[in-house]
Structure 1
Amino acid sequence: MTTEHPGRVESTPMVVDHPDLRGKVAVITGAGRGMGARFAAALARRGVHVVGADLDLAQMEETAATLTAENADAEGAGQVVATAVDVRDRDAQQRVAELAVERFGRVDLWINNAGIFPEAPAADIPVSQIQATLAINVEGVLYGAQAAASVMAPGAAIVNMASVAAVRVRRGRAAYCSSKAAVAHLTECLAVEYGDLGIRVNAIAPGFVDTEMTRWVQDDPPALAKALDSIPLHRLGSPEEIVGPMLFLLSDSARYVTGHILAVDGGSRHV
C-alpha cells in the first residue's frame, strides 16, 4: 500500500479468491461506474458472468467493453453484458432478470448497488429529493430483490448496498441517511422471508471510501481531517476493500450468513 496524501490509502487488488463463484451468473445494478463497475470487474475476473444494468446505457456499454478487453487474455474470465435499467421501475428490473436467464440460463447472485447521495438541510429537503431518494435507494432495492428471487434457485445470494450512514447522522444528508437505514432493515426483512426459498440476503455498509461519492470530503481539508478523526483506522477505505467483503457475502464461505449488515467502515460506527 502507498499513501498519496493523509487519509487516502490506495490498496492493491485483494488476492482473495472464491473458486465456488466460477461459472455463476450475477446481476449488478448501477454497474456503469463507481463501486458497481468495481464489483463487475472483480466478479468477471473470477469467472462470474455478469449482467451489468445501469440507467446510463452508454456508460454501461463502455464499462462492459472495457472489462471484456481487459479479460481477453484471462483464462476462464466471465462475460460482461450491458443493459439499461431504471431501478425505480419494477417491470424493468424483472426484464433484467429475464435477460440474465435468457443469456446465461440462471441468476445466482444479485447486487443491488444503484443509489444516489443527495444533500440538503433537513428543513429544506424538497419533495422531489425525498421522493427520488426513497424510490431509487429503497424501492430500487426491493424491486431488485423481487426480480432476483423470481428467477433464483436455493443457494443463491442477494447483497444490498447500505451505508454506515444508516446508523450515523450526517448533517445535510437526512434523505440519504434515512434511505440507507431503510435498506438495512429491509435487508433483514427480506432475509427472513426469502430464507423460505433458500436465498440469502445480506448488506454491506461502507464508511468513507475513496470514490466519487466522497470526493466532496477529500477536496475539503477541514472536512477530511474531521472525517479521519471519526475513523479509528484514521484513513479512508479503498474500493478494493469493499470488494473483498462483497465476494465473501456472495460466496459459499458465507452460506450460513443471512440478514447481516456487514460494516466496512474502519470502525467509524463506534465513534
Structure 2
Amino acid sequence: MTATTPNELANTTRADASPLSASYPELVGKVAVVTGAGRGMGAVFATELARRGINVVAGDLDGAPEVADQINEEIAEGGRVVGLRTDVTEPGDHDRLLGAAVDEFGGVDFWINNAGIFPQAEFTEIPPAQLTSTYQVNVNGVVYGAQTAARHMRAHGGGTIVNMASVAAVRVRATRAAYNSSKAAVRHLTSCMAVELGSHNIRVNAIAPGFVDTEMTRWVREDPAALDRALSTVPLHRVGSPIEVFGALYFLLSDSARYITGAVIPVDGGSQHI
C-alpha cells in the first residue's frame, strides 16, 4: 500500500471554501453587530453579511476600522460596514456598538457575539490571569453583548442573537480547560437567554464550530502528522472553512429559522460524536 504524501493529504483534506448558493432576500437592508470582526471568522462574517445586503457594525480590539474600509471598498453594491475599536469586556463598549448601529442605520436586528480567545495550559498550571481573561472575553463579553442587544430589541419588536460556542463545549481536550469551560458556559447561557427572551420575540441560538481553517489552526494544517491526528476525529475527514460556519449563521438570521431558538448548531464535520 502506497503511503500518502503530505501534498496528497493536504489535497484530500483541505477546507471547501466555495461560495454558498443560499439566499435570504428578506435580510437585505437589515442591521447586524459583529464582535471580534477585525480578523478571522468575524471578518468573514462581516464581509459575507455585507455582500448579501446587510449593514454591519464591526467591533474588535484591533483591526475593525481597517476591515470595514476594505469591505466597503470591495463591495460596491451591498451593505455598508462601520468599524469600531471594541473591548468586549467593557459593557460600555457594547453600548457604543449599539449607538453606532442606531446612528448609522437606525437600529439593530441581529447581534453576533463572535469575539473570543483560545488559551492553552496544563490544568495545574493555569495562571489566574489566563482564567480571568478567558472568562472575561468568552463569557462576560457574550453576556454584555447580549444584554445590550436584548434591551434594544425588547423595545423594538424583537431580533436575533447568535453566540459563538464551540465543539469544545462538549468535547474535552487536554490543556484547554479554561477555553472548554468558557464555551460550555456560552452553550448554557444560550439556553438561558432563549428561555428568558423568547416572550419578547428575541431568538437566541449558538454555533459550535469544530476544526476550521483559521489562523488559530494553521500550525496543525502545516504539520502532516498533526493534521492526520486531528482529522482522525472528524468523520468528514477534512478541515471546515469559515464560509461553512457563515452558512449556519446566515440561516439562523433568516426567516427560515424563525421557530428556532435555544439551539446549538454544530459545524464540525461530525467531530462532537467521536
TM interval, shorter chain, is over 0.9
> Residues of 2 paired with 1:41 and 1:211: CA distance?
15
Give me the TM-score of the superposition, normalised by structure 2: 0.94
Give the structure 2 partner of residue 183 of structure 1: 186
Shift of 1:10: 3.2
Percent identity at matched positions?
58
| Equivalent in 64, 70, 85 of residue 68 of structure 2 | 64
> Residues of 2 paired with 1:262 and 1:83: CA distance?
28
> Residues of 2 paired with 1:138 and 1:63: CA distance?
25
Unaligned stretches of 5+ residues in structure 2: 1-8
Shift of 1:4: 4.8
- Matched residue SS, 1:26: strand
Residue identity in the other structure for 1:29: T
Residue identity in the other structure for 1:25: V
- Matched residue SS, 2:15: strand
> Residues of 1 paired with 2:144 and 2:42: CA distance?
17
TM alignment of 1:1-271, pairs within 5 A: 4-56=10-62, 59-72=63-76, 74=77, 77-152=78-153, 153-271=156-274
Assess if the C-alpha contact under 8 Å between 1:157 and 1:201 holds in 2.
Answer: yes
Assess if the C-alpha contact under 8 Å between 1:88 and 1:136 holds in 2.
Answer: yes
Residue identity in the other structure for 1:68: N
Give me the TM-score of the superposition, normalised by structure 1: 0.95
> Residues of 2 paired with 1:261 and 1:116: CA distance?
20
- Matched residue SS, 1:110: strand
- Matched residue SS, 1:201: strand
> Residues of 2 paired with 1:106 and 1:112: CA distance?
17
Unaligned stretches of 5+ residues in structure 1: none
Residue identity in the other structure for 1:215: R
Shift of 1:170: 1.3
Calculate the aligned-residue CA RMSD, in Å: 1.4
Shift of 1:221: 2.3
Alignment size in residue pairs: 265
> Residues of 2 paired with 1:242 and 1:64: CA distance?
20
- Matched residue SS, 1:9: coil
Shift of 1:50: 0.3
- Higher mean C-alpha deviation, range 183-192 or range 153-162: 153-162
